Amino acid sequence: MAYDKFNILTSSAVPLPIENVDTDQIIPARFLKATERKGFGDNLFRDWRYNADNSPKESFVLNNPIYGGKILVGGKNFGSGSSREHAAWAVYDYGFRCVVSSFFADIFRNNCLNIGVLPVQVSAEFLDEIYKAIETDPKTELEISLPEQTITIKATGAQESFDINDYKKANMLNGFDDIDYLLNIKENIREFALDRPL
């Protein structure tokens, strides 16, 4: 499934300074029956967002109107637990295009990269700077440059670099998933196959 190209994202951010956020908290197992990548955003952090009677919990950050944007700033070890792709789907479907943390679980990181969510891993010190900037001004913006592989706190100019696999970077810049990538080079594959002995 193709998704929007990712180049430079400038946005305010939603702070979630909780460590060890696992995939069952991101999208509880009871919501995993669907097979399409739609509708999961409604249940992102479902048990943290809503009471038993489905009323919003005012204390949870996604229900706080002062925060918003396309960037989620999570605590250390974000996306641990089971390997469910639905966790990344829920993050994307809610409207986040980037998750920032000081450490990601590998499978969650890869699931995000496969669907157009950029996981940006920063140092613990820089993560603290981001939280402080948002606490000072909830509307403060972060700039995520995929071409330069940098994240910048616009208000202070503080900046840090992040790593990303070259293949996944190219796919995100083009809005490709793995199938789109193969379709894009099908002529090269056909030419290669013609040169091979039968």
Phi-psi group of 175: left, alpha or beta (phi > 0 → left; psi -120 to 50 → alpha; rest → beta) = left
Q: Note the pLDDT of residue 31.
A: 75
Q: Name the one residue in this structure whose structure tokens are 């196959």.
A: 193
Q: Note the pLDDT of residue 44.
A: 95
DSSP 3-state assignment of 80?
Answer: strand
Tell me the per-residue pLDDT of 109-160, one tens digit each, with 9 for 90 and over: 999 998 899 999 999 999 999 999 999 999 999 999 999 999 999 999 999 9
Q: Is the C-alpha dihedral spanning 150, 153, 154, 156 positive or negative?
A: negative
73 token code pair: 């700033």
Q: Note the pLDDT of residue 82.
A: 81
User: For residues 93 and 120, what is the distance between their CA atoms, to the nearest angstrom?
Assistant: 18
Q: What type of residue is 95?
A: G
Instruction: Output the pTM of the full model.
Output: 0.88
Q: Note the pLDDT of residue 47.
A: 94
CB 97 within 8 A of CB 117: yes
User: For residues 89 and 79, what is the distance between their CA atoms, to the nearest angstrom?
Assistant: 12
User: For residues 144 and 159, what is the distance between their CA atoms, to the nearest angstrom?
Assistant: 10
Q: Which residues of the chain have pLDDT under 70?
A: 1-2, 32-38, 178-195, 198
Q: Which one, of 108, 103, 101, 106, lies nearest residue 26 by Cα? A: 108
